[in-house]
Amino acid sequence: MNSSTSHPFIKWFADITIADIPLVGGKNASLGEMVRELSGKGVKVPDGFAITAEAFRHFIREAKLDAFIRSTLADLDTKDMANLSQRGHAVRQAIRGAALPEDLQRLIGETYAQLQGDSAVPLDVAVRSSATAEDLPDASFAGQQETYLNVQGVAALLETCKRCFASLFTDRAISYRVDKGFDHFKIALSIGVQRMVRSDLACSGVMFTIDTESGFRDAVLISAAYGLGENVVQGSVTPDEYTVFKTTLKTGHRPILQKTVGSKEFKLIYDTGGGKMVKNVPVASADRAKLALTDDEVLELARWGCIVEDHYSAKRGHAAPMDLEWAKDGNTGELFIVQARPETVQSRKNPDVLESYQLRERSAVLVSGRSVGEKIATGHVRVIQSAQHIGQFQEGEILVTDKTDPDWQPIMKKAAAIITNRGGRTCHAAIVSRELGVPAIVGTEHGTDALKDGQIVTVSCAEGDAGFVYEGALPFDVQRTNLKDLGHPRTKVMMNLANPEEAFSLSFIPNDGVGLARMEFIISTYIKIHPLALTGFDQLADAAAKTEIERMTAGYTDKPQFFVDKLAQGVAMLAAAFYPKDVILRLSDFKTNEYANLIGGNAFEPHEENPMLGFRGASRYYHPRYQGGFALECRAVKKVRDEMGLTNLKVMIPFCRTIEEGRKVQAEMEKHGLKRGENGLEIYVMCEIPSNVILAEEFGDIFDGFSIGSNDLTQLILGVDRDSEIVAPIFDERNAAVKKMIAQVIATCRAKGRKIGICGQAPSDYPEFAQFLVEQGIDSISLIPDTVMKTTLAILETEKTLMST
Residues with a known catalytic role: 428, 759
CB contact set of 306 (below 8 Å; sequence gap of 6+): 209, 220, 246, 249, 250
Q: Helix and strand tally (H, E) in the chain?
A: 30, 30
Q: In sequence order, what are the beta bridge partners of 354?
A: 481
Find the angle CA(121)-CA(122)-CA(123) to the nearest 5 degrees. 110
CA angle 151, 152, 153 (to 5 degrees): 130
d(CA 269, CA 225): 12
DSSP string, 605-654: ----S-GGGSS-THHHHTSTTTHHHHHHHHHHHHIIIIIS--TTEEEEE-
What's CA 314's distance to the chain center, in Å?
A: 25
Cα-based distances in Å from 131 to 28, 31, 88, 229, 719: 9, 14, 17, 20, 72
Other Cβ atoms less than 10 A from the Cβ of 315: the count is 14
CA distance 548 to 538: 14
> Which among 572, 587, 707 is positioned nearest to 649, based on CA atoms?
572
CA dist 179 to 172, 184, 410, 435, 753, Å? 10, 12, 10, 13, 63
Angle between helices 66-73 and 81-97 (to 10 degrees): 170
CA separation for the pair 145, 48 (Å, rounded): 19
For the CA atoms of 706, 711, 713, 719, the dihedral, rounded to the nearest 10 degrees, stands at -170
Q: Is 371 helix (H, G, I), strand (E, B) or coil?
A: strand
Q: What are phi and psi of 219, to 5 degrees?
A: -120, 145
Alpha-helical runs (H) found in 256-294: 285-288
- Measure the CA–CA gap between 50 and 719, rounded to whole angstroms: 78
State the Cα–Cα distance between residues 351 and 484, nearest whole angstrom. Answer: 10
Whole-angstrom CA distances from 263 to 228, 252, 329, 589 are: 16, 31, 21, 34
137 vs 108: CA distance, rounded Å: 31
76/69 Cα distance (integer angstroms): 12
User: In angstroms, rounded to a whole number, what is the distance separating the alpha carbons of residues 139 and 128?
Assistant: 18
CB 509 within 8 A of CB 788: yes
Q: Which residues neighbour 35 within 8 Å (Cβ) at sequence distance 6 or greater?
A: 13, 14, 16, 45, 47
Alpha-carbon distances, residue 548 vs 163, 597, 674, 739 (angstroms) = 51, 14, 32, 47
What gap in Å lies between CA 389 and CA 453, rounded to an integer?
A: 14
Contact criterion met (CB below 8 Å) for 599 and 545? yes
